[in-house]
Amino acid sequence: MNENDLIDWIQLINTDGIGPVRFYKLLKQYGTAAESLKALAAKQALFSRRDAEYELEKAARRQVKIITRGDEDYPKNLYELNDAPPVLYVKGRTDILNYPAMVSIVGARNASVNGRKIASRIAYDLTENKVVVVSGMARGIDAAAHKGALFAGKEHGTTIAVLGTGVDVAYPSENQNLYEQICAQGAVVSEFALGTQPQAANFPRRNRLVSALSAGTLVVEASLNSGSLITARMALEQGKDIFAVPGSPLEGRSAGCNQLIRDGAYLTESAEDILNTLAFTQNRQIKDFAKVDLFANPLDKEQKSDNIPFQTKKVDTAPALPLTDLIPATGIEVDELIRLAGQDTAQTMMQITELELEGVVERLSGNTLFLKNQKNRKNR
């Protein structure tokens, strides 16, 4: 598509009252976007031609690629949608948009620590097994899934984030670093014009793309009224596999997943459950599940709770630092201290207990350890 044609498409899809369905009807009726614009001009105001040209200029400055339906890089999975976006904005890699094996992971924004760990672990293992993880970059489960995927492949894993904002708007703002990392290693995708700010109506539209891109959708923690269940329903309508992580019936965040399982979703406890199902339902030759021996670090040092759960690790025979040297003045979670110690968990827990009995450290709310004073630390 040449530049003038692309400007026509941008101008048409951004004209008031023109959504994807009507866009395609106009193309069918008039043959081209240019002719459609001429026909519409007699009836209503059009999106400014200058603004459409400026959209191209902004995209070039911000290193954003604009692809249209019919382009080689346009995701073929989206062709199944009758309202597939005529125009997609992509920041990052376009070559992964047609990757043969993709799985969406969605769930609660106010996810529990365990929920985030499960999402991160499964995303990591899927990526290690050559499956691209797709999510919406929301806080909670989405962010944890992206982090797990990025951490795979020796911290060079790839993932796709579909936004409900412009592709140049990192939302929520707390995910700015995550957004930049996804742009560098994977792809951030949006159908909305550059600069589009968060609007409630845009996120259900985003969700249909998250599910459509993938062969299946995994839900990790969702209430009965969760938007994640909307994504699952869309995936079901698109003929995709639905996976759900079960949870306690006493936990409201598990109610949606448990309901999905009752309704026929695949009960999922690990990436292996997903890989085996896809190998069967999609008739894909997916390699044997990789038994990864990883002692993982958190991707985001500020959010240790999104760390990939520990795997078996041989105890290092080198002399270990005293535990007190690993505890900052601001305190540290017990799980994180165990990770940093790099030794057998039971051994570390015994040392922690001894330090508590000696009055060197104290354990406060949130299972966090604090040094009682810096003098104690220096003396040990």
Name the token pair of 168: 């140049």
Q: Is residue 26 located within the same domain as residue 133?
A: no
Compute the distance between CA of residue 114 and CA of residue 140 in angstroms, rounded to an integer: 11
> Cβ–Cβ contacts within 10 Å for residue 46, how many?
18
Provide the residue type at 214 as one letter. S
Count of domains forming the chain = 3
Q: For residue 327, what are the domain limits? A: 314-379
> Which residues does 177 contact at the CB level (< 8 Å), separation at least 6?
300
* Domain at 209, CATH number: 3.40.50.450
**Residue 78 resides in a domain:** no
What confidence score (pLDDT) does residue 379 get? 44
Q: Is residue 253 located within the same domain as residue 326?
A: no
**Residue 65 · residue 96 · CB < 8 Å:** no
List, for the chain, all residue ranges whose pLDDT scores fall below the cut of 70.
Answer: 280-321, 344, 346-347, 357, 365-366, 373-380
What confidence score (pLDDT) does residue 218 get? 97
- Rounded to two decimals, what is the model's pTM? 0.75
Q: Is residue 266 located within the same domain as residue 318?
A: no
Q: Is residue 51 located within the same domain as residue 135?
A: no
| Inter-CA distances, 172 with 69, 164, 358, Å | 28, 11, 44
Q: Is residue 320 located within the same domain as residue 221?
A: no
Q: Is residue 112 located within the same domain as residue 32?
A: no
Compute the distance between CA of residue 80 and CA of residue 98 in angstroms, rounded to an integer: 14
Largest CA distance in the chain: 84
What confidence score (pLDDT) does residue 281 get? 60
For 122-133, the DSSP string reads HHHHHHHTT-EE
What confidence score (pLDDT) does residue 265 get? 94
Tens of pLDDT, residue by residue over 44-55, are: 999 999 999 999
**Residue 229 resides in a domain:** yes
**Residue 77 resides in a domain:** no
Q: Is residue 276 located within the same domain as residue 321?
A: no
By three-state DSSP, how is residue 215 classified? coil
> Which residues does 18 contact at the CB level (< 8 Å), separation at least 6?
12, 26, 40
Compute the distance between CA of residue 129 and CA of residue 12 in angstroms, rounded to an integer: 41
Compute the distance between CA of residue 358 and CA of residue 376 in angstroms, rounded to an integer: 10
* Domain at 319, CATH number: 1.10.10.10
Edge-to-edge strand list for the sheet holding 102-107? 65-68, 87-92, 187-190, 159-162, 132-135, 102-107, 216-220, 241-244, 266-267
Compute the distance between CA of residue 245 and CA of residue 369 in angstroms, rounded to an integer: 31
Q: Is residue 256 located within the same domain as residue 128?
A: yes
Compute the distance between CA of residue 133 and CA of residue 106 in angstroms, rounded to an integer: 10
